[in-house]
Chain A
Amino acid sequence: MKKLHILLAIFAVVLAVSCEGFLDVKPSNQASAETYITSVSDAEIMINGVMSLMTSSSYYGRNMFMYGDAKGGDFALRSQGRGLDQLYTFNHSHSSNSYSGYWTHLYNIIAQLNNLLLNIEKLEEEGEGSSALSNYKGQALTLRALVYFDLVRMYGKPYNMDKASYGVPLILEPLDASAQPTRASVEQVYAQIVADLTAGAPLLSKAKKNGYVNYYANKAIQARVYLYMENWAASLAAAEEIINSGIYTLYTPENWVNSWTVQFNTESIFELYIVTGESDLTSGSLSFYLRRHGHGSTSAMGWYMASDYWIERMNEDPNDVRWGVMDYDESFDQTGVKRYGSCYKYSGSTTFAGDGKGSATAVNIKVIRLSEMYLIAAEAAIGTGNKAKAADYLNAIRKRSPSLAPATAANVSVDMVLDERSKELFGEGHRFFDMMRLNKTITFNDDFIYPFVVITHREKTIDRTFYKTILPIALGELNANEAIRSQQNPGYATID
């Protein structure tokens, strides 16, 4: 009987744990989404999360820049099948190579920002507002504008081509799982971008804060956006406000090459921080995509390299300081001739100096540099008719080619600015978008790839009337969102 008592004791002990609390098991690494923002420091953590998402390979970590570069004619590739090559070949359809990762990832960031904004507003309503909190609100609005700007550039026609055509769905608050949003017009999206930037600017601190957007980053995005909208005065004003602030300074020609080895250097208006061992994309990084095949690592597949046309342009001045980040490319293996087509901006240097983090691939992404502001100011000044000013701004950058004669008020032109942009911002994701907004014809260096693969999905030259210059709404989205099916981009298939 004594043993029976022992048994009953065990029975009782085990019964004691059996209450409803036993069934309420919470994760140890995640918090309940309803209560995750209750203070300024929570808002800061969520902004960090968003910044981290921006460094993803689907966005500024790699693919955003590759989109702007691979399609613009300044780059060529040597072979297919190693990654992102369909950007170059324009082999897109709704079902294959739709590159829906841009859409999916950028809308994820939008969802994060919308949540954050909603929660900040809630805190403000509860009387918890503060200037620190509004600063995060300003950052969120600015980042939302940037993300929409990138989305509409990839999925919508250029602003000056057809404003009334489809842009992207405009989502400003959190959606539930059953939502089936439809597309707003290009014009509506731009209007929202301007509204967010305008609302965000006064909330932001003017102090430089490495790795985050501040007031001037907001203005820099404004300068870009107004340039695309051909609002020359506003674009010029925004760019000049940054230039004149004195917070940022141009690299001298002497230290231009080394600038890539320094984090948060003097030109960085918006620079994304890459965390070693976390957001470092290693063999999937821009460093690997642009360096020479096998260089520094046997897993380097050395993917994109400069086209003959870009090299010709750079050859206008063999002393151009910007050759300093270029090294010879893999065509050397076959031709024995060194062709300096491989770009090492994202390796720090041609000797893999990195930018001080001990990894040549964990190099920060300079999203907006002061040089671009000078070039925007130059172009916008031409738009406003102030050619002297335009020449000054252009020459501030053009002096990096010491052998070239400076521009003058007489000869300065949009094409000169465009060429300078091509040289200065090579590998920084601009060329294709520049060619689109300026309605230029792009010629591809397809003979460089021949006979590896013959390109059949586009002509050797294209312009913005070619339907594949904007991406399709991918099959996955069409499948899940019935409402958007009738809004496919022209030329691409949809589903019934």
Chain B
Amino acid sequence: MKKVLFFVLAAFVTTAAFAQSRVTGKVTSSEDGSPLPFVTILIQGERGLGTNTDIDGNFVLERCPSDAVLVLSYVGYTTVQVPVAGRNVVNITMIPDALALEEVMVVAYGTAKKGTYTGSAAVVRSETIKDVASMSFEKALSGKVAGMQITTTSGQAGSAPNIRVRGIGSMNASNEPLYVVDGVPVVSGGTGQMSDYLYTSNNVMNSINPQDIESITVLKDAAASALYGSRAANGVIMITTKRGRLGKPVINFKASVGLTPSFATVNYDIAGPEQQVELYYENFFNAGKYEGKTDAASSSDALRQLNNRFNKHGYHFTADDNTVKSLKIHGMTDGIENREGKFYDWDDYLFRTAIYQTYDLSVSGGTDRATYYSSISYTKEQGRSTQNDFSRISGRVNVTQKIGKIMELSTSVNLANSTQHGFNDTRNVSSNYFMLSRNLLWPLYWPTNYKTGDPWTARYGSYAYNHLYYDQHWDNFAKVLRIGANESLSVKILPELVLKTVLSFDNTSTRDHIYYDANHYSGSNVNGSVNEMYTNYYKLVSSTTLSYDKEFAGKHNVSALVGWEAEENKTDFMRSSGTNLATDALQTVTTAGTYTANAYYWGHTMLSMLSRAEYSYDGRYYISGSFRRDGSSRLGENSRWGNFWSVAGSWRVTNEEFMKNITQISNLRLRGSYGVNGTLPSANYGWRALASYNSKYMDAPGGVIANIADANLAWETSYTWNAALEVGLFNNRLNATVEYFNRDSKDLLQSVPISTVTGFSSTLRNIGEINNHGVEIELSGDIIRTNDLTWSAGITGSWIKSTVTKLYGGDDIVWYDPYAGDSRAKFIYREGESTLAYYGIEWAGVERETGRNVWFLNDEDATADLTVDGRPATYSYAKANEVILGEAHPKFFGGFSTDLTWKGLSVGLTFTYKIGGYTYNAPGRDINDDGYYWERIMSQFCYDNRWTPENKDAKYPQRIAIDMEDVNQKSSRHMNPADYVRLKNITVAYTLPRSLTSKVHIQNARIYFNGANLWTWAAHKEYDPEVGHWGSRGWEMPIGKTYTFGLEFSF
């Protein structure tokens, strides 16, 4: 890249000068005051008179004209021109070019300059994300890139956020973007098999230490991403890790500690103990009245129920005048403890102030022959649940070595070892600790028996159990060891012709362990059980490219790239399990009386050819084109190969003659692109009709046919238009980008429900088309820009419309939120409707006089029981027709941020927001119940909003213990507006003055505070509004407010 810059600079060289003298000086970075070595310094107009700074940033220019203008250029910094103005000592500060148009960014198979790149891509620099206390980098990207939606749904340590680039590009196949690290596609998502037993999975992206990241490029349109062909339809996230810079070794040390004492919002907070008891009484009292019993009989039945349930926990109940008002809770006096007036605070045991700590040490540097960056890091993240934590040790070595004159070898080795402990995040009554705390554990349940003081070992009603006891009787962990080696060799055959070959090996081995001893209810039936699983993921990528880049006649720039790539993925799986364990002192399979085992492997491969050509004229007109051909083992022979391509162009209007005099406009550029890329099926063998052999019988193997397959399964293909206008005003103090895109995705893959009479409930097919189009805006500006004080602000916003345009059979397809198999929300694909259209029955609320649920009939043929708002309605949900109830997509979403810097002090705020759409409150059926789940506790929201004779305008019906399941219906009852604004991050940092730190040989010292999720406004205040991409909130552990304090030194 330096070479390219050199050419550009050469163009500026113009005049000669007269008086000459010796000029010395030092070049430092404005960022941290560190000296910049090997900065190219030229004298404007004087060919051959330049120099470079030395390793300490010092330079000497002999025979420098006194009126000379020095032109300083350095990769990653804005080129500056400094008049010598007769001085002998010229100290110069260079500013990193974070927003500069000449900024070099990493793109598919190469680099490009932001100001001339024809595709749509966004870059996030390490500075932006480095202070956020997060195990994985994704969380820190929230609100930073227009069109990219990042949602953190789970507050579990080790969980991964959802990322969507430009809406939904797929139905059944993956909507995940492709991750590319240092130019090589990598494994992403979960790698273990723990989802069969406990928690969903661990996220392998956690193996990348965010502190090792130099920059992240998000490729959004086809022009940017078509070179990744069949995997690029959902966008590409390219991660570039840090490499050494020329200069003396720089040692960087960073430590931070974060505290998460509370959740970010209200999350189904439970009603108080007395209120719970009231609800319970009311439930049975009302059922008695429904049966036609007297008040006295109903009251006594209700009290009997309460006594049955809670006598054994040390309470008894009276209601002297047979009303809820006279309901009293008394302590039992026949035990060693009288619990009158006392209740157990389960939250106090289950949750904690979670501590996050991370330590990073890196050393980097380089000579003109070799550069290096090496780091080691340790991070430990606790979940708020006492049963959840995640830790990681990672190390990285990045070395670049020149060999001879024309070769350069670049090596990256990453090693990460992580361990996760956790529990279930889904609606699992027996292993979701959050759900237990909000729905199952009565404050009237105690961990000890009030009579004896012994631990309570029986399960409480409705599957609740005593954690204080059971947490000592089970264990689990998932350990991930990831080793990635990436070797790249480039050969400069000619100055303009470079051959580059990359070989990458990525090995992720996951060991999952889950153990229940014989005292745990999950192990008691088999006298203890232990499972050990090893999943070994190998990914081998080899790519070779030949690139050509030349300028002709000073005006014509031509570049071209051809290459090919092969990729092999293989996963080995092995499980051994034991039951009937000899002792609870050991947790190994070898102690078991009975063993079972399983082992097999799976994988997929891909072959590709790729090419790209670019031409630009006079810094004004740019065109480019790319073509890639992919073959994948995930498709059958007939449809295995697919072609993907793009064309793009841009016009840099500011470089036109007629713009020269309009000095206010510093940048004006138009660009556009069109292209085709694709998505592969996520199933490795989806096109094959298969028989499987995992149904043993009579100790002999058994086989069954496993599917009805479509051998002609094809790629999903996306056709994307993109057009953008970029404006920079007042020397780029104000920048704006407005971008429009339109993506038609065809042949979408979906597991389609079929008549189950065929023996199978679904088959994978190419079934339809969807369209995503939208507008993205990015505005940023420096409101104040002085030497000591800068104040900048920026906003990103996206409006995306995502619609099902065609279903090949014409028939609607009903589907469920696939998150963790919970079937939380129900959706329908219907032509002309949203891709996330909630489907179900329409709730008409509560009948004012009776407190009963009412449903809109939405069926012309059926007879109504009543009318609500003039519309036919019914008391019976089974009579109501399902309709589209609304959509999960927001109308508008994005983020805004502001940064204030005054001398060494800086304050930054990042907000994220979402406007429009609905969230689906899946736990609503558990905690806003009408009486069906009478063994469970209810939320304060339920208590406050239920119908009673005194509260007839209630949102929810009367609580009554009859066998109605209205609450379990997928209906608009559980839908709420999704709008929210959240202060995602606030960072306050102070860099100690160099004059102070240099005395103790510290180049840079910085202290900072980061606060995450400290403030949230939500339209619906019952639960955290930041939901996953399916729009539904389930029983995930909510995210917390995190306060992080950190220190950073470099030597």
A interface residues, Cβ below 8 angstroms from B = 3-4, 7, 10-11, 14, 17-18, 20, 22-34, 36, 42, 44-53, 55, 79-82, 86, 89, 91, 93-97, 100, 103-104, 107-112, 114-115, 169, 171, 174-181, 210-212, 273, 275-279, 282-283, 294, 296-299, 301, 333-334, 358-361, 450-457, 476-477, 479-482, 484, 493, 495-496
Contact = CB atoms under 8 A, between A and B. Distances in A.
A47 B703 CA distance: 8
Interface residues on B, range: 35 or more
Given A358-B580, A456-B962, A96 B969 contact: yes
B697 A111 contact: no
Interface of B: 284, 287-288, 290-291, 301-302, 304-305, 308, 403-404, 407, 430, 457-459, 461-463, 465, 489, 491, 499, 501, 503, 521-522, 524-526, 542, 544, 564, 566, 568, 577, 579-580, 593-594, 596, 600-607, 631-633, 640, 684-685, 688-710, 752-761, 763, 765, 811-812, 814, 859, 861, 877-879, 881-882, 932-935, 960-965, 968-969
A3 B404 CA distance: 10
Most A CB contacts (10 A, CB to CB) among B632, B703, B752 go to B703
A48 B696 contact: yes
19 contacts: A10-B503, A23-B606, A27-B602, A29-B693, A33-B707, A45-B700, A48-B696, A50-B704, A91-B963, A108-B760, A114-B759, A169-B757, A171-B757, A177-B758, A180-B755, A277-B577, A333-B308, A451-B287, A452-B961
A115 B705 contact: yes
A222 to B, nearest CB: 24
A40 B771 CA distance: 52
A4 to B, nearest CB: 7
Contact of B878 (A93, A112, A358): A93
Given A32-B689, A477-B756, 5 more contacts: A33-B691, A52-B695, A177-B760, A298-B521, A456-B962
Most A CB contacts (10 A, CB to CB) among B458, B462, B699, B754 go to B754
B601 A28 contact: yes
Given A24-B633, A454-B290, A36 B703 contact: yes
A452 B934 contact: yes
Contact of B882 (A14, A36, A95): A95
A119 B707 CA distance: 17
Nearest to B688: A32
Contact of B704 (A49, A86, A89): A49
A25 B932 contact: no
Contacts of B640: 23
A476 B756 contact: yes
Nearest to A478: B755
Contacts of B525: 282-283, 296-297, 299, 359-361
Contact of B605 (A22, A81, A476): A22
Most B CB contacts (10 A, CB to CB) among A53, A175, A358, A453 go to A453
A30 B687 CA distance: 13
A249 to B, nearest CB: 23
A279 to B, nearest CB: 8
A79 B878 CA distance: 23
A221 B668 CA distance: 84
A104 B458 CA distance: 36
Contacts of A361: 525
Most B CB contacts (10 A, CB to CB) among A28, A114, A454 go to A454
A100 B607 contact: no
B759 A175 contact: yes
Contact of B753 (A31, A80, A86, A480): A480
Q: What 8 A-B pairs come out closest when comparing CB atoms?
A: A111-B759, A48-B702, A52-B695, A93-B878, A33-B689, A481-B755, A49-B702, A25-B633
B521 A299 contact: yes
Given A36-B691, A51-B698, A451-B961, A100 B756 contact: yes
A89 B964 CA distance: 10
A174 to B, nearest CB: 8
A32 B522 contact: no
Contacts of B756: 100, 103-104, 107-108, 476-477, 480
Contact of A177 (B685, B710, B933): B710
B513 to A, nearest CB: 18
Contact of A49 (B305, B697, B710): B697
A25 B463 CA distance: 45
Contacts of B301: 450-451
A48 B694 CA distance: 10
Contacts of B459: 294, 298-299
A476 B761 contact: yes
Contacts of B814: 476, 479
Nearest to B761: A104
Contacts of A114: 759
A74 B462 CA distance: 25
